[in-house]
A and B are shown apart, each in its own frame.
Chain A
Amino acid sequence: EAGVAQSPRYKIIEKRQSVAFWCNPISGHATLYWYQQILGQGPKLLIQFQNNGVVDDSQLPKDRFSAERLKGVDSTLKIQPAKLEDSAVYLCASSLVAGGRTDTQYFGPGTRLTVL
């Protein structure tokens, strides 16, 4: 079974530039998550999709971050304009069902973003 795919793996940009990350979840998984992981910390949820609808985006800095999940499959996360503090690893995860106490999330390898 193919895992969660993400691209690119690495990205270096200058502040105020824009950047986009792509995620392809495990086939058949209805729920997709984007997490941000700053160096030395655990991942923090940015946004959750159930099929192509947003369930929770309360932690997404909406003035600069946006995300979409077209047709309930692939997703893109965009930052425009980027700030230095956006330097982090951006992780995509998917799960079969809509969360809950026993639902397992499967993570991709992440995209490491460096903002100069």
Chain B
Amino acid sequence: DAKTTQPNSMESNEEEPVHLPCNHSTISGTDYIHWYRQLPSQGPEYVIHGLTSNVNNRMASLAIAEDRKSSTLILHRATLRDAAVYYCILRDVDDYKLSFGAGTTVTVRA
């Protein structure tokens, strides 16, 4: 499995943006970049995914570096409900499973 590297933790203030980095220097040309998050005492939930172009949805934005060796998940205005562990995962065409690392624990201060 292609590997990703994320910081262990990040802190943010409520209503401020949060930028979560993910390094994936060994990414292959066919790997998609997926983000999931896990709120306390819940199962993981899908956030966003992309291949080469930046992506936006109602939850977040995904900015992908031109060389695809890194990406950044952007939460535009953090709320207390965004406090969670965020996982950056690479998936190839045959990757049915999600290979989770330790993720980044995001703390949001009121």
- Also in contact, A100 and B87, with CB within 8 A (given A44-B100, A107-B44): no
- Interface secondary structure of A, over-half rule: loop
For residue A72, CB closer than 8 A to chain B, the reply is: no
Complex: how many Å from CA A40 to CA B103?
Answer: 10
In the bound complex, residues from chain A placing their C-beta under 8 Å from that of B42 are 107, 109-110
Contact with B along A36-54 (1 / 0, CB 8 A): 0000111111001000000
- Also in contact, A48 and B96, with CB within 8 A (given A101-B30, A101-B91, A102-B32): yes
- Also in contact, A104 and B46, with CB within 8 A (given A41-B102, A42-B101, A42-B103): yes
Residue of B nearest to A4 (CB): B43
For residue B97, CB closer than 8 A to chain A, the reply is: yes
| A55 and B46 contacting across the interface, CB-CB below 8 Å | no
Residue of A nearest to B103 (CB): A42
Complex: how many Å from CA A110 to CA B103?
Answer: 18
Of B31, B32, B44, which is in contact with the most chain A CB atoms at under 10 Å from its CB? B44
For residue A79, CB closer than 8 A to chain B, the reply is: no
Of A55, A106, A107, which is in contact with the most chain B CB atoms at under 10 Å from its CB? A107
Residues 30 to 63 of chain B near chain A (Cβ within 8 Å): 30-32, 41-46, 49, 51
In the bound complex, residues from chain B placing their C-beta under 8 Å from that of A100 are 91, 93-96
CB distance from A29 to the nearest CB of B (A): 13
Known: A35-B98, A101-B32, A101-B51. 17 other contacts (CB 8 A): A4-B43, A42-B85, A43-B44, A43-B98, A45-B97, A45-B98, A48-B97, A55-B96, A93-B43, A98-B96, A99-B97, A100-B96, A101-B95, A102-B32, A104-B46, A105-B44, A105-B98
- Interface pairs (17), CB distance under 8 Å: A31-B96, A42-B101, A42-B102, A43-B98, A43-B100, A45-B99, A48-B97, A56-B96, A100-B95, A100-B96, A101-B92, A101-B95, A102-B32, A104-B46, A105-B98, A107-B44, A109-B43
Q: Footprint of A on B, CB under 8 Å?
A: 30-32, 41-46, 49, 51, 85, 87, 91-103
